Amino acid sequence: MNFLRIFKKPNLIAAHRGDRSKQPENTLSALISSVGKCDFIEIDVQLSRDLIPVIIHDDTLGRTSDISNIERFAERIPWKVADFTFQELQSLDFGSWFNNKKEPILTLETALYFAKEYQVFLNVEIKEMSETFSDARVVQIIIDLIQRLKAQELVLLSSFYHPYLPLCKAHAPKIPTAVLQEGHHPDNLIQYLHTLKADAYHPEEKITDQKTVAYLKKTGFFVNVFTVNDTLRQKELFSWGVNGVFTDLLLG
């Protein structure tokens, strides 16, 4: 049994970066706020300079932390996540930019403990770090942590940077993977997904078309579309056979 069991249910709602319309994105508060309002939670993972997996979307710290107010970091602009040690990241506040409530950086470790405790499913999106860390190292660190915490059954791994995906499968064949795609579908899509050993395809909403969805479903792939905040559009996508949608707007 693994994450794929949730696809037995139709019309899945995924909390994009947690309940990010109510709490600061990709924080523990955003995860907690998602519970009971969605079928799974999507988070973005990157590595700190000293190789700790942390949950943050942008590859720089300016938008979602208070780093611009901190004088000792001023000369380190543009504040790349991968240039900061975990200890430095822990000194920042990731909540106040959103709702004036302090919030520490969320680690993948804490997110996985949370998933286990609440028995919620997590889509862990691995952000591209190929300029800074070797692909093998990134994947090994993330998978080792998931395995050490025995959270394999609750996780779906995805990435826009597709070379990570077969490495994930080689390391952990039982953890499902998804190909994230924007701009245009890859050539020979089905063959491409087979080559990557992917289980699911996550296209952006504007490239998603009914014919491609039908073909993906017929060939055994699961399809989750990002980011769909409009409920009428969600319904249309579900009527095409899309399994799930990522949304910023959770009801409830």
Count CB-CB contacts under 10 A for residue 206: 9
Site string for Mg ion, 104-143 (x = CB under 5 A): ---------------------x------------------
Q: What residue is closest to ligand G3P based on CB?
A: 226
* Footprint of ligand G3P (CB under 6 A): 16, 42, 44, 57, 125, 158, 180, 202, 226, 246
Task: Return the bridge partners of 16, or none.
Answer: 42
Most distant CA atoms of the chain, gap in Å = 56
Residue 151 dihedral angles phi and psi, to the nearest 5° = -110, 15
**CA–CA separation, 197 vs 121, rounded Å?**
21
CB of 43 to ligand G3P, least distance (A): 9
- In whole angstroms, the minimum distance from the beta carbon of 69 to ligand G3P comes to 25
122, 112 Cβ separation under 8 angstroms: yes
Asked whether position 25 contacts Mg ion by CB under 5 A, the answer is no
Minimum Å distance from CB 17 to ligand G3P? 7
Q: How far apart are CA 17 and CA 24, in angstroms?
A: 9
The strand pair at 155-159 and 121-126 is best described as parallel
Joined tokens for residue 17: 């970066």
Q: Which is nearer to ligand G3P, 31 or 73 (CB)?
A: 31
Q: Quick one: what does residue 169 bind among ligand G3P, Mg ion, none, with the CB cut-off 5 to 8 Å set by partner type?
A: none
Residue closest to Mg ion (Cβ): 125
Cα–Cα distances in Å, from 196 out to 106, 146, 189, 190?
A: 29, 21, 11, 10
Within residues 38-57, the interface with Mg ion by CB under 5 A covers 44
Q: To the nearest whole angstrom, how small is the minimum distance from the Cβ of residue 65 to ligand G3P? A: 17
**Considering beta carbons, is residue 73 or 222 the nearer one to ligand G3P?**
222
- Whole-number minimum distance, CB 44 to ligand G3P, in Å? 5
Smallest distance, ligand G3P to C-beta of residue 14, A? 8
Kind plus residue range of the DSSP H or E element containing 245:
strand 244-247
Q: Which residues bind Mg ion (CB under 5 A)?
A: 44, 125
